[in-house]
Amino acid sequence: MVTKPKLTREIAGATAIRNPWGSGSAASGLTPSRLASILIAAGEGDLEAYLTLAEEMEERDPHYSSVLRTRKLAVAGLPVNIEAGGEDDHAEKLADAVRELTEAPEFGELVDNALDALGKGFSVNEIMWDRTGERWMPSDYRWRDPRFFQFHQQRPDELRLMDERDPVHGIPLAPYKFVIHKPRMKSGLILRGGLARLVAFSYVCKMYGLKDWLGFLEIYGIPLRLGKYGPGANEEDKAILKTAVANIGSDAAAILPDSMLIEFEQISQASGASDVFARLVEWIDRQVSKAVLGQTATTEGTPGKLGNEEAQNEVRQDLIEADARQLSNTLNRDLIRPFIDLNFGPQKTYPKVVIAIPEKEDINALAANLEKLVPLGLKVSAQEVRAKLGLSEPASDADLLGVPVQPEPSEEENPVQQRALNRTTLDDIDTIAEMMLDDWEESRSITDPILDAVKAAQSYDDLLALLPTLLEKVDPKALTDSLAKAGLMAHGEGREGEE
């Protein structure tokens, strides 16, 4: 039963039994046997050590922290859509109210904190309701330490709040007060479903590998300092040499008698042995990536290739879809329904929060198809194309990009007709040329004597001998008169064209 006055009060804050500082570290000095006991206790309902270990694993292992955060961000970065419960005005009114709720800055923090359940198995956020306005609205979503809660022994799916009133079983969680996200990454008990439980053994192996690697480097990373003394050295000389050998590793300086010598010996096989530890750590990191991201391809950068890209490209898509679907169900159950009930009363159908991966449009394929199909008569909505391209409707006074305006084509000309006109229509120059050709007889007084001389000559020398006599026979007057007349007419036509 909902008690409205309690909705504005804090319920799951820190108390004597709900200690926010915990009871100590679980990861320090962790051994395989200690890990086994922690996991067994968690499987039986004692979660404190396990939840502390899950928190410390995120703090101590950079790779696990990175891939886990990548998986969280892959969902947190998805768009939040609101679907109305119907098509009538009332359903749209409820959907608008939910949109206002999800657009508040606090909602994004709720999503981030709810995804903490991926590592630990569950996450609890307390809703701090505010009634000072027209509606019941969450003023804050307060993340609660999962160690403040426990599962009921007889009903292992029921989460209860640890409280002094019932230290053994805890007390039920108040309705409309908590957003409880319990992702199902495998069937079975919720308290056994977190990624931290899956990765815990790999974490222990990696810590042991790193410890051995550092010990190896401490011994073999520095060359062996070998002191040599002569056969006549006494105990005091040997002590001086030993002190010098011990100090030269850090001081890089020493004073020795001439009879003593310090040499540095490199261990040739040390580098190969060191690679064993590196390969072990890298192999464990790849297994952790598979467990958290579902793949290992993009968790490390590769020379010459893109390394860490967008979070949604690094996590396998089916994992993102499952995480988003389960988070949507949690928000609809623990936030949207209480919000609608408190402000509008119980409804037959409720608006829904839908967190999903948006469909990616192949822009190149879309453009190619439009280029081919639109000229064939395909009718396409410009608004729909803009939506797929991510473009908005242009304003009426906006500068628009478009196809350059082509000049209107001139009237098509008939080539046959043009050829016929070119043959029949003469301009003034053509008229003058025709007139000159009609008077070609006037040039014979010049050409005939020359042609007769060419015919009479037997050789080139004979023709040269006849040329002086040709000037007496040639009469150029008729030709020069004709050329002068034609030149005068052409000049007159040119002057008339200028005017």
Read off the pLDDT of residues 105-127 as tens digits, 9 standing for 90 and up: 999 999 999 999 999 999 999 99
pLDDT for 293-329, tens place per residue?
A: 998 855 555 444 434 345 657 889 999 999 999 999 9
Nearest residue to 323 (alpha-carbon basis) of 481, 494, 167, 119: 119
Place of tokens 């052409």: 490
Six-digit token string for 486 = 């034609």
* Chain Cα centroid distance, residue 313: 7
Specify which residues 124 forms β-bridges with.
144, 180
- Pick 69 or 482 by higher pLDDT: 69
Separation in Å, CA 187 to CA 21, 59, 193, 315, 316: 32, 28, 8, 21, 20
**Cβ within 8 Å of residue 373, ≥6 positions away:** 380
The model's confidence at residue 412, banded by pLDDT at 50, 70 and 90, is low
Task: Locate the domains of the chain by residue range.
Answer: 4-198+314-355, 224-265, 422-498
Alpha-carbon distance 210 to 203, whole Å?
10
Place of tokens 């970065």: 77
Alpha-carbon distance 259 to 232, whole Å?
9
**What is the signed CA dihedral for 411, 415, 419, 425, rounded to 10 degrees?**
-10
The pLDDT value recorded for residue 276 is 83
Residue 256 and residue 244 in contact, taking contact as beta carbons nearer than 8 Å? yes
- Pick 78 or 267 by higher pLDDT: 78
Alpha-carbon distance 30 to 208, whole Å?
9
pLDDT for 364-406, tens place per residue?
A: 888 888 888 888 888 888 877 777 777 777 877 777 776 666 6
